[in-house]
Structure 1
Amino acid sequence: MANKYKTLTAKRLSELSVGKTLMESGISATKTRDGDVRFTVNVMVDGNRIHRTVGVQSEGVTRSDAERLIERLRTEAREGRLKLTKKRKLAFSFAAVAALYVARMEETGGANLTRKKQHLKTHLLPWFGAMRSDAITEAKVLAFVHHLTAKLKLSPKTANRYLATLSHIFSIAADAKTGWISKEAVPKIDWAPEPRSRREILSGDDQARLLRAAYQDVDPQLYLFVLMGLQSTGRHGEMVAHKWVNFFSDQRRMHIPNAKAGPRSQPLTIELTAALIAERDRQRLQGGGSDDDYVFRPGPGSKKPHRASFASAFKRAVIRAGLDPTLVTPHVMRHTSITALITSNVPLPIAQKISGHKTLKMLLHYHHDSDPNIDAAVDVLSPRKSAITQDLHQAPAN
């Protein structure tokens, strides 16, 4: 049923003075200096205040056009509600979803939560916070990336860290167990293209010298750390947090409950398994090595229950091994071991299981251009005896 207007009538509009405004039912009509009448709408739709200019009377815009705009906005809001999960009547804002996400991660012991909170605080919430969580489109995500890289001059690699947090938030929000948004509402997130950088890889001789240097170091646990880095594809932060309760020597596995890509079971080599058993036995002789103990024990005065970092000790070993400490960091051991898997023709799904990468795309970042398999493969393009000889390139004789 159409509204019966008492204020925005044709008679009142014709009598409207310059600079004066008539308002009724979310519609405003203002007399401009040139004698025209400008129509605008200002209404609440699904908890959001919407203010739009409809147009001016001289262009044929009438009060009816303003009414139709309001009805269209409300229809679009109703259609938006149809995309919500069955559990929800109204959409969460991104800020509300972010708060639920943080609470859930705290409850379940989610990995890297401190960094994700920082991502939310610095850029994600200021940009997306007030938006409806089910109305964040691919275009809005691209605008966010442009803001980070073009306006704030952040590197693509840094921008992708924020996108990774955003992607994980949407993944949890659309999970059937949460139902904060529907899966259809999750936007496509394209990573910012990163310039390809050189990845340092240790040769067999480099690895042998590094292990020897670690064995000779004053730190009694450095050798085990380096051996683990080279033979388990482990991340530095995950390795220092290993507990004996998660070590299954008979299965040659180390369970990692708080791995970067989610809980996983890390396969171990025979040599590394033996070294871990020897370390556990050594600790038990000293009154440690129980299930609740960490493999790498903290130093004196440490605030953490386990060794915080091997960075300084590792640097000593790198220098003693004659390697460049500006290039060879603990993460280089992970690069080296994963590259060894790929260049040894280990099937990619199995290599992914060992490395703990969430996707094959991430795993392939470790496939280096120096791969001898690539060199051998490209030689297939060269016939054994080329039909083109240098003679064909000689200039004709005069």
Structure 2
Amino acid sequence: MRALKVGASLSEHGITYTRLANGDGRWAVNVMVNRQRHHQVIGLESEGYTRTQAEDVIATLKASKRTASHGVQGSRQPASLTVATAADDYLKYLKNHDGKDITSKTMRFTEHLKPHLGTKYVARLTDDDWLAYVGKRKEEGASAGTINRERSALLHMLNTMRRRRQLAAVPLLARQREPAGKLVYLSPAESQRLLRAAERDQSLLAHPFVMITLYTGLRHSAALNLRARDVDAGRRILWIGKDKAGRREQAMPQILAEYLGELTADMAPEDLLFASARAKSGRAYQMNSIFARCVARAGITKHVTPHTMRHTAATNAAQAGIDAATIQAMGGWKTRAMAERYTHAASMRDAMDTLQHRLTSRRVTPKLQRRSRQTA
């Protein structure tokens, strides 16, 4: 796959992987099921899609065919199981089996999926039901990216039920096309201004949050879940227990290790770094408003969110010459392609600097082309 040239593809068992012009990889399926041709783009490698998702789509198509042709049910639950009831059972299952990203999944089901789809029967959920949901969410002002994240939560629930033999087949649920956005990150000067603004902010959580996310690139929720016991200042390691990428060790630079060592010196091991007395969970639910206030006070006019700090850490690491494999491990990305976009941007910047130096470091005198006179 890595050796594929632009436009080239690899196909096997109805699954096709294509190398795109921007270096990304695209997964698609093209299979014949029940005398009907099914061709569908699954997603991009940079978005986290792998061969597994393509295999799941084919398995779903074949399961649907068996159900329609032979009445195979394979469900341990009654046909009257609704999305709302299934969601409660699914979230409980995740908590008992060390599931990932439970907080955000709970929010998406509670605030959006259950209110709109809660009365639908899981076994009878169709693509038309999903399209109706998409229409309602767009009317509420939800973006394509937000709807796609809700779709991922719903699909994960349905596929989990299928693996537990509670459901025979899973509908495809069309993914919304997201607009291509440019990579936004802070320059070193902007980063320092933001740090100073956070240090002067009235919230005691502002400066630790900016320090941690700037120097590690941690995700918003992973940073907020940190406890004093997770900080190993001597080894310069953060122990990440709850993150999209799962449990892992997060290395940190010396400046952050010394900062967190002082911050946690008088804290009990179970104390949260971002504790909040008002929050039911005991920790701050989000830092968006505090972070936005610091950004404004730093005089940064570009659109910056807490996730921008993740891009900033990766971009600055790439510009410092760190390879994609190390950046992938540092940020906890699932695929190399998601980290390579930062090294690609850094390589192009170096290439442009080299080109400029070569063109401006020597005197170039263009040779005039004179048109010869033709005499009659």
TM-score, with normalisation over the residues of structure 2?
0.62
Structure 1 match to 2:229: 245
After TM superposition, list the pairs within 5 Å mapping 1:225-244 onto structure 2.
225-244=209-228
1:268 Cα deviation from its structure 2 partner: 2.2
The answer (yes or no) to whether the contact 1:213–1:317 under 8 Å persists in 2 is yes
Distance in 1 (alpha carbons) for counterparts of 2:128 and 2:347: 37
**Residue in structure 2 matching 1:274, options 249, 253, 258:** 258
Separation in 2 of the partners of 1:360 and 1:340? Answer: 17
Instruction: Give the whole-Å Cα distance in 1 for the aligned partners of 2:304 and 2:117.
Output: 33
**Could you give the per-residue CA deviations for residues 18-71 of structure 1, whole angstroms, max 9, x where no partner exists?**
xxxxxxxxxxxxxxxxxxxxxxxxxxxxxxxxxxxxxxxxxxxxxxxxxxxxxx
Aligned residue-pair number: 295
The residue correspondences of 1:197-212 to structure 2 (distance < 5 A) are 197-212=181-196
Residue identity matched to 1:374: M
Distance 1:206 1:360 in 2: 28
Say whether 1:291 aligns with 2:269: yes
Distance 1:322 1:391, change over 3 A: same
Deviates more, 1:342-351 or 1:290-299: 342-351
Task: Give the match for residue 114 of structure 1.
Answer: 106
**Amino acid in structure 2 at the alignment position of 1:373:** S
Post-superposition Cα deviations, 1:139-185, rounded to whole Å, max 9, x if no partner, equal x548734761599555322321221112221342244xx34346xx4
Tell me the TM-score normalised to structure 1 length: 0.59
Partner residue of 1:103 out of 88, 92, 99: 92
State the alpha-carbon separation in 1 of the partners of residues 240 and 79 from structure 2. Answer: 36
Name the CA distance, whole Å, in 2 between partners of 1:172 and 1:396: 79
Change (3 A) 1:236 1:375: closer
Q: Measured at CA, do residues 93 and 317 of structure 1 come closer, stay the same or move farther in structure 2, by a change above 3 Å?
A: closer
Q: Which of the two has higher C-alpha Rg?
A: 1
Match for 1:215 among 196, 199, 205? 199
Q: Matched residues in 1 for 2:153 and 2:144: separation?
A: 14
In 2: Cα distance, 1:359 partner to 1:295 partner: 30
Find the aligned partners of 1:206 and 1:361 in 2 and give their Cα distance. Answer: 27
C-alpha deviation, 1:330, in angstroms: 2.6
What amino acid maps onto 2:252 in structure 1?
Answer: L
Q: Which amino acid aligns with 1:122?
A: P
Task: Indicate how the Cα distance of structure 1 residues 309 and 148 shifts in structure 2: closer, same or farther if over 3 A, else same.
Answer: closer
Contact 2:323 2:343 in 1 (8 A): no
- Where relative contact order (Cα < 8 A, 6+ residues apart) is larger, the structure is 2
Tell me the equivalent position of 1:331: 307
Report the CA distance shift for 1:101/1:376 in structure 2 as closer, same or farther (over 3 A).
same
Instruction: Find the residue that maps to 1:266 and give its secondary structure.
Output: strand
* 1:229 partner amino acid: T
**Deviation string, structure 1 residues 341-392 (Cα, Å, up to 9, x no partner):** 445554444433322344556657x7499x24235568999xx99xxx9978
Query: Which whole-Å CA distance do the structure 1 matches of 2:171 and 2:331 have between them?
Result: 28
Distance in structure 2 (CA, Å) of the matches to 1:207 and 1:368:
20
| Match for residue 153 of structure 2 among 165, 175, 180 | 165
SS class of match (2:103): coil
1:213 and 1:320 in contact (8 A); partners too:
yes
Q: Check 1:209–1:152 CA distance in 2 against 1; reply closer, same or farther (3 A cut).
A: closer
Instruction: Tell me by how many angstroms 1:323 deviates.
Output: 1.9
Aligned in 2, Cα 1:146/1:337: closer, same or farther, shift over 3 Å? farther
Question: What's the secondary structure of 1:330's corresponding residue?
Answer: coil
Counterpart Cα distance in 2 of 1:151 and 1:292: 39
- Which one of 332, 335, 340 corresponds to residue 356 of structure 1? 332
Q: Which runs of 5+ in 2 are unaligned?
A: 1-65, 360-365
> Conserved in 2, the CA contact under 8 Å of 1:256 and 1:266?
yes
**Alpha-carbon separation, structure 1, partners of 2:289 and 2:135:** 33
Percent of residue pairs identical:
26
- The CA distance in 2 between the partners of 1:362 and 1:189, in whole Å, is 24
State the shift of 1:334 in Å: 1.8
* Deviation by residue 1:253-279 (Cα, 9 ceiling, x = unmatched): 323333234444333222212211111
Letter in 2 for 1:180: Q
Kindly indicate whether the alpha-carbon contact (under 8 Å) linking 1:111 and 1:260 is maintained by their aligned counterparts in 2. Answer: no
2:294 corresponds, among 310, 314, 317, to 317
Q: 2:240 — aligned with what? A: 256
Name the SS for the 1:81 alignment partner.
coil
Query: Match for residue 374 of structure 1?
Result: 348
Secondary structure of 2:239's counterpart equals strand
**Cα distance in 2, alignment partners of residues 222 and 374 from structure 1:** 34
C-alpha distance in 1 between matches for 2:157 and 2:306 = 29
Give the whole-Å Cα distance in 1 for the aligned partners of 2:89 and 2:280.
Answer: 29
